[in-house]
Structure 1
């Protein structure tokens, strides 16, 4: 075995896919099922529209290209849909800010087309009136995230060990040489930490630190409808929420239809640890904001809600690549709410690192050791985050 990947979410699945394509033999270990964590609680966003110029946008643009290539590999069940995004502004001042934001993105390779207030309804007939305008992002897309992870793993041919908890990393002569699970020992000269929100606890098993924190988010799912929402539509304040460091509850409407009929409504963010309590306030805010954006949804039934935990790192960039503090350990985690969109590029960069080939993007901005070492807070260990 050449590499053990810890985590069977979409990031771990993409790492497995690109590693096996590079000729490596791969095992994937997860204490639960495929997409049983953050991936299964995601909306499937593949976004460039919410990212400012810099390393994350570069990663998103590469992933956009790779997701398009993957359409030939993945069956239609993953619901890949290049629907495009529409970011709307309620007033001229916000539209001006969006215009400046888009200008910077265009310089990095993003397609961003300004849409006047009258033309908004040509794209989305059911949008609220009196919006100041917006920007259309044709590169935005969507997938069904759990299916995408499952089919990437299947296409990889990796050996899966599901419902096996990693209880330790094998470290010999100062190098990671595999993992110990609740059932077996798997030896390999490289281990990839793709454990999502629990990646910090996994890093601690190797004697190192990674300050990954959970950021809870809720999603509403409506009854099946005719296609009343054509694009991924969100209000401009969503961009600020994504970049915020606040631990308090934040919500901004992100509304999109799905091929099967239900409308998905997000997105909230708050840092409350691994508290799974249903937040009536978060759900109320989402429903109110979605109805303000699309009045046609005001009387539509919500048939269910779900929530998950985004893996948050303090500088809003994922950790990707080898950990120089622990030879043999690589990280692919900390993507917050963008992991589904950024998974292919992450997998390709990890495969390059594993094989010693030139990566398509510089790894320096994503170095796992870029954070100052801080004492582990009480209750932050692996046992504390079991569920």
Structure 2
């Protein structure tokens, strides 16, 4: 069933290299970062709330300093096993970060043989002990942060991945090894390019990125400007590698704090919806982990306290309700670039799932009316989900499709909150 919109021009949202990436058949991963693996103040029942929101994967830290506080004295603390067991019981995959240094080495990065050897022992111990519940291992976190443009830093990191990956695969063959966890500064400073040039993708199953833009300034800090930049990053990586490279956005979000770089909790929810649907237009991106599940504190003017989907008391923020409503569509539907259109700040993205068809549509700036067309709707009521009132879910509206033969149309008012409009008969 073909469907279209009556205004706009076609988006060039899919590059030739991205089209080749259809070889990657795994479903898109809706994930979230947590801090509950090491924090008993964040109850593990929060993972049940994550599952209820449609989250399929959780990411947290197996700190080297916690695992080996003294040389050759390795351990797995009970909270780690409880976190892994809870996630497994909820059928959520786990991503474990391997890194951050330990006190007896001076908390330095493993760039010398004297530090690398115990780090690899720690990697061996963790990947043997944690076993099959872990689906992803991320080698370090934001290694580039010290000096994003330093070529020696990136060279040492690629060598570390080359040494760590075989150990992980020997102990945990079903797990994927992710390299990078590269910050926005590292992406812009060439850290990813140098990783790719050094062949990191030969040792890793994918490159992980943390492409935050909330402090990039006006016209560069919205989901729409973000996806334009990320599309260029994706194209650059695949071009330099000579093939599509799987990308994992293991941290991404907007903080909802009062002050510089912050937005309201309501706008955070609109940005979340637009971000998840926009990132589905890039086939090389295999998953995105929202940072993070729970606010880290209650200070409204503190950025680091306000990234979460939930408040610190586990009450839902608007972003949680939106993710719960949209996650089935983000996870299960496939982007249809041929029928996706934009013009003058109006976005209309088409997605399909078997015989089901949906539009995801919104407008930047002022609210505007657009006419949407579909086929064979037989004067049915218009069924839609408005992310501004996400808790209502997909509901029949007072409007009807107006049909002439098998061509049907309806008028929809769009604003900054995406509307998901069913453009095929009810399943």
TM-score (normalised: structure 1): 0.29
Higher relative contact order (CA 8 A, sep 6+): 1
TM-score (norm 2): 0.27
Which structure has the larger Rg over C-alpha atoms?
2
